[in-house]
Amino acid sequence: MHIAGIRHSYERDHHINIVCFKSKYPDQFWLFCNMKILLADNRTVTIRSLFETDKDPLYHYLQNLSPESRSRFGPHPFDKQTIDIICEHPDNEIQRFIAESESTTAIVAYMLIKQGMIASDQQRYAQRNQFYEYDTTVTYAPSVADAWQSSGLGTAMHTIIETELKRKGIQHIISWGGVQSSNIKAVNFYKKNGYRFIDFFWHDGKNNQDMVKEIG
């Protein structure tokens, strides 16, 4: 991997310093994006794409999410076979990002960006006469390890991902499968990051809400 060492650095409200080592080839930036973030509590993480070698750390990360977090985040099953397939055979339509703790090298956050919409979301939005172009829409599923939640990490990762989505001409970010209305942390997280409430819907015996961010 060729890293040209172009650095960007800025601060946000959580006093997060972001240092970006950008690939020397512009179209490889997305894949090789590798950024170091210093959180307000002085913990440091590196944000990067998921690699094949992340099989075991990702499995460990998902198995160690609390029952509460697991009940809120479920873009795919968390069994070993699924994780091995995800890491060994990357899906062209789904970008996966992780945050790696600098001190332990453990994965401490995992986020997915899918091009377009998942079928059930698309169907629900269509019933409301809301349609989004495949090419300019992505669907987003965020998760942060319990011990790292509320530290600004989720927002920092979102900012990095959104910046790259804008660069690629994406105009809408849809919350993957909506958000459970009882998930106050996530609802606040989406609001804070500029998502607007679309509508409530009932799923699996729970009240949920669709949220969308316009970035175009």
Contact set with ligand COA (CB under 6 A): 69, 72-73, 142-144, 149-155, 175, 179, 183-186, 188-189, 192
In the complex, the smallest distance separating the C-beta of residue 4 from ligand COA, rounded to whole angstroms, is 29
Crossing angle of helices 184-192 and 153-167, in 10° steps, is 40
Q: By C-beta, is 23 or 190 nearer to ligand COA?
A: 190
In the complex, the smallest distance separating the C-beta of residue 108 from ligand COA, rounded to whole angstroms, is 10
- The Cβ of residue 14 has, within 10 Å, a number of other Cβ atoms equal to 16
In the complex, the smallest distance separating the C-beta of residue 49 from ligand COA, rounded to whole angstroms, is 18
Q: By C-beta, is 23 or 173 nearer to ligand COA?
A: 173
> Left (φ > 0), alpha (ψ -120 to 50) or beta: where does 42 sit?
left
- The Cβ of residue 77 has, within 10 Å, a number of other Cβ atoms equal to 11
Residue nearest to ligand COA (CB): 154
In the complex, the smallest distance separating the C-beta of residue 171 from ligand COA, rounded to whole angstroms, is 21
Q: By C-beta, is 24 or 192 nearer to ligand COA?
A: 192
Tokens of 85: 């397939």
119/142 Cα distance (integer angstroms): 19
